[in-house]
Structure 1
């Protein structure tokens, strides 16, 4: 019975990972006959999974949407990603869905193995809130991929105060070996950074995760240095700003500061009051297109004025293009 259940779960995992499987492929992977395969498919159907059978030379099986949500099989990384997302959303306060968010989180965390639960707790407790330098910092370019296992390992090292050694490649392509005391993981403009104390340079350093390789946990503990969350965020912001070309602008908005800050949330933390009816929103980004995207966050119907030659020139060109497009 245990072998049958294990095989059925393996079949479900295969169906969830691929759009269509031929019967020959499935029997080969599972090591069973076609008759046994059909029985396993029927077991899954009885559990509520919609599995379509296709006859003929190109026939086989595929998983289709059903009328309800049957159980799902998740990999470790998928389980961590979903639980972490639900935790973040629960703490952020998803309006109108607080109960469903918390109940879904409880169901997932109830069955998480201890090792995965520790990884999630480390990621959440040692990951800073996303940083957008100057309020908006999206370049529009694809973000470098970061290995989920590396992210979890670094988060655990931050939480446990464990020294690390790794290889690092800087922006110029120069490689070096680093020995660090990791402090915090910080996402900036769709990239992940590690803020750590560099033991060889005797100073704080910021490392892009997609440039880190060959990480070696030393199992040597250290006492974390005193650093506030605000200091950590500012150190990463300064490091990122120094490494790239940025374009700045300022937007004068016909709204009291409190109203715009409430609308923008975290992105409005640098909004300044001009007078009782106006405020100034400083912007900084890697491209003029990213600055223009930020303007879409200003509430509809609210008047504003742009200060910044590069952004103003870009908006002027785009206004002509839009006028031609709608003529």
Structure 2
């Protein structure tokens, strides 16, 4: 491979890894002059890659969308990651993605080096998927629109149906997509409510990018925020419980969508979870098998007292 060809491929990889690059940044990365960068940009355009150039502050070179999909450059780690995700996608929660994922995987597998193919095989052989029907599916176009908006920090608007059936228009700053395997959620800043929100994608409609961008705010951890929202907000009672055993032991018993688990020293942890029936909540919390204390609310604490009496009576009656 000639030095020029190698440099053009390296340039393509840079353009695919970030939205906008200045000519100076590209020249420094490639170790060439600005003139060489401009020549290589023209070579990419001749090959069918739509490279756009914008002047002024905030401008630079940007790889755009063309009429046809040109070849993509993937390094070894990226190729393995894509192949693993495609292999798992057929059982996922994105509507209609299964057949497309299999076609894409077959194309990738055809050109993948044997050393990378063996890594992909090792992951799949070590993985078992429970093919339970997803509770809800997400339109792939909506997913891609939101993913691009998160990446580009672009305002979005949509229509949202709440749990109680109320329909509202939302103007959002999208930050992160989160999936539990059963559902997709978006962490976003609601411009009208001036607060963070966790929104289910299957409750969204009329999703559209607004064409304007925003400056990123200090963002809460997406996984923690969504986990806390979906494990507590839909329920009548939200219990806070202290377990007298390590965080990893307790976390193994709860899914992220059912409870949030936080360390409270090396030998104890705090759990927050929601439910509609205090008695059932206590039985579920007790199933961990560790000593625990209900901190709140009073209804769940009272249910724990009732359950303790019933279990104590059952033991006494068996003597």
Q: Considering the TM-score relative to the shorter chain, is it more than 0.5?
A: no
TM-score range, shorter chain: 0.3 to 0.5
- The alignment's TM-score, normalised by the length of structure 2, stands at 0.43
Structure of higher RCO (CA pairs closer than 8 Å, 6+ residues apart): 1
